[in-house]
Amino acid sequence: MKPVHDTARALLGAEPALRRMLNYWIATSLLYLAGMLLLACQVAWGHTPRGPALALGAAAAAGTLAFYILIRFSAALGLAPGVLAMLQSLFAIGCGMASYAIAGPTRAALLAMTVVIVAFCAVALRPRQTMCVSVTALAGMGAVMWRLQALYPLRYPPEIEAMNFGYLSATLLSTALLSSEMTKLRRRMKRKKEELEQALETIRTLATVDELTALANRRHMNELLTAEERRQPAGGGSCVALLDIDFFKQVNDRHGHALGDAVLREFARAARGALRANDTLARWGGEEFLLLLPDAAPQAARQVLERMADHVHALRVEGLDPERRISFSAGLAERRFGEPFTEAISRADKALYRAKASGRDRIETA
């Protein structure tokens, strides 16, 4: 299977957008192939001359190969998808005009192929471009019909060519209009989908992140604790710590809640800078924070808290007395084997109270 995968990757590329364009190219190539097979049948039955049919088949094959090269290397060549789609549509219209000119009595059936070309264009082109392609196709086919009836009125009766042109006009323009409306609808749906995805991302963020501090919120931390218990059902090997900003109530009482919020934001920013890659700090409630330290022994966890304390001590919050140093008290507990995190947090909470009772700005271990 790997050789097949490598071959497909080499032929179709790895980028999703490039693969999508080449998939459309494959579809149009199959359409060209079907048309050439039908043209070969017309030659075999004597309705179409062999020479012009062979020339048209060679031109279609060469054009199809050329468009594969242009699409495959469009990034290097600087060709936008819209430009490629327009070129392919004009080439297909030219092939359709040539087919109509040599098809003989079955030529009216080829008018449907022109409608298919416009439908393909609507996938990649803007509505106005699709309408331009439709008008170009109509003008080109009309010129071919007029030329045929003028040169060979017995084989191509003027009234028949006029009827063919009338049916083609009605069908082609209707298809162009419908395709344009479908394109607009598809783009509106795409825009609504993007807006919905953004809204869902915002909801997910609000559901997991504390709005004030940009840390994980309590709900998300509970989810992380549950996931960690599933990852290590036997327990052990992880630590939790409860942190409380010292004398935070005094900040709110003396300076107001706006400054208190600023302290919380700056504390979160400084504390987050001291964490290891897999650590998570969450706002547990008010000025209290819960720190999860997966795969950390108590000594390593204490080092994280001490580093965090150094970062917090260096904080300077505008509006707060410069002489006042921001600090926190912490209770640290290692999760014991077979112990749920709720019990480890309870032990960390008791250690936090001991830290407060011992004078604050310290770390106590349960």
- Domains delineated in the chain: 2-201 (no CATH), 218-365 (3.30.70.270)
- In this structure, how many other beta carbons lie within 10 angstroms of the beta carbon of residue 250? 11
The span from the CA of 34 to the CA of 36, in Å, is: 5
Torsion of CA 158, 163, 167, 168, to 10 degrees: 0
Which of 171, 173, 184, 96 shows the shortest CA–CA distance to 131? 173
Query: Under a CB-based contact definition with an 8 Å cutoff, are residues 337 and 235 in contact?
Result: yes
Burial class of residue 1 in the structure, from the number of CB atoms within 10 Å of its CB (0-12 exposed, 13-18 middle, 19+ buried): exposed
Q: What is the pLDDT of residue 3?
A: 63
Q: Which letter, b or e, does each residue of 184-212 get, where b requires 16 or more Cβ atoms within 10 Å of its Cβ?
A: eeeeeeeeeeeeeeeeeeeeeeeeebbee
Q: Is 159 a catalytic residue?
A: no
Which of 101, 117, 91 shows the shortest CA–CA distance to 164? 101
List the beta bridge partners of residue 209: 216
- Given 161, 287, 334, 364, the catalytic residue: 287
Q: What is the pLDDT of residue 98?
A: 94
Q: What is the pLDDT of residue 16?
A: 83
For the question of whether the overall pTM of this predicted structure is more than 0.85, the answer is no
Sequence-separated (6 or more) residues with CB below 8 Å from residue 215: 209, 268, 272, 281, 282, 283, 289
Q: Is 237 left (phi over 0), alpha (psi -120 to 50) or beta?
A: left
> Could you read off the pLDDT of 118-144 as tens digits, one per residue?
887 777 788 888 888 889 999 999 999
Residue listed under structure tokens 């600023």: 262
Query: Under a CB-based contact definition with an 8 Å cutoff, are residues 22 and 68 in contact?
Result: yes
The span from the CA of 234 to the CA of 237, in Å, is: 10
List of long-range contacts for 106-114, beta carbons under 8 Å, 24+ apart = 106/42, 106/47, 107/164, 108/164, 111/141, 111/164, 111/167, 111/168, 111/171, 113/31, 113/35, 114/141, 114/168, 114/172
Sequence-separated (6 or more) residues with CB below 8 Å from residue 276: 293, 296, 304
- In this structure, how many other beta carbons lie within 10 angstroms of the beta carbon of residue 355? 24
Q: What is the pLDDT of residue 4?
A: 58
Low-confidence residues of the chain, pLDDT below 70?
Answer: 1-10, 12-13
